[in-house]
Amino acid sequence: MFQTIMFISLVLLSLSIVVGLYRAIKGPSTPDRVMALDTIGINMIAGVAILSIVMNTYAFLEVILLIGILAFIGTIAFSKFIERGVVIERKRDE
Partner 1 sequence: MSWLHLIILLPFIFAIFVPFFYKYLPRIHTGWFVFVVPVALFAYLLSYIPLIARGQTSYETVNWIPSLGINFTAYVDGLSLIFGLLISGVGALVVLYSVYYMAKEREALHNFYVYLLMFMGAMMGLVFSDNIIVLYLFWELTSVSSFLLIAYWYQRKQSRYGAQKSMLITIFGGLSMLAGFIMLSIITDTYSIREMLGQVDQIAAHGLFVPAMILILLGAFTKSAQFPFHIWLPDAMEAPTPVSAYLHSATMVKAGIYLVARFTAIFGGSVEWFWIVSTIGIVTLIWGSVFAVKQTDLKALLAYSTISQLGMIMSLLGLGSAALYFGYGNESAMYTTAILAAVFHLINHSTFKGSLFMVVGIVDHETGTRDIRRLGGLMTIMPISFTIALIGSFSMAGLPPFNGFLSKEMFFTGVLNASELNIFQMETWGILFPIIAWVASVFTFIYSMILVFKTFTGTYQPKKLEKEAHEAPIGMLIPPIVLASLVVLFFFFPNILSKNLLEPAMAAILPSFIEAGGGFDVKIYAWHGWNTELFMTIGVVAFGSLLFVSLKKWSWLYGVMPEQLTLNHAYDLGLEKVEKASHGITAFHMTGFIRDYLLYIFGFIVVVLGGAVVMLQGFSYDPSGNAPVSVYEVVLVAVMVVAAIGVLIAKSRLTAIVAVGVLGYMVALMFVNFRAPDLALTQLVVETVTVALFLLCFYHLPKFKKEESGVRFRAANLVISLGVGTVVTLIALSAQGARVFEPISTYFEDSYELAGARNMVNAILVDFRGFDTLLEVLVLSIAGLGVYTLIKLRLAGRDNE
d(CA 43, CA 12): 10
Instruction: Give min distance, CB of 93 to partner 1, in A.
Output: 19
Nearer to partner 1, 1 or 59 (CB): 59
39 binds partner 1 (CB under 8 A): no
d(CA 59, CA 72): 22
d(CA 4, CA 93): 61
35 binds partner 1 (CB under 8 A): no
Chain residues 3-32 in contact with partner 1, contact rule CB under 8 A? 7, 10-11, 14-15, 17-18, 21-22, 24-25, 30
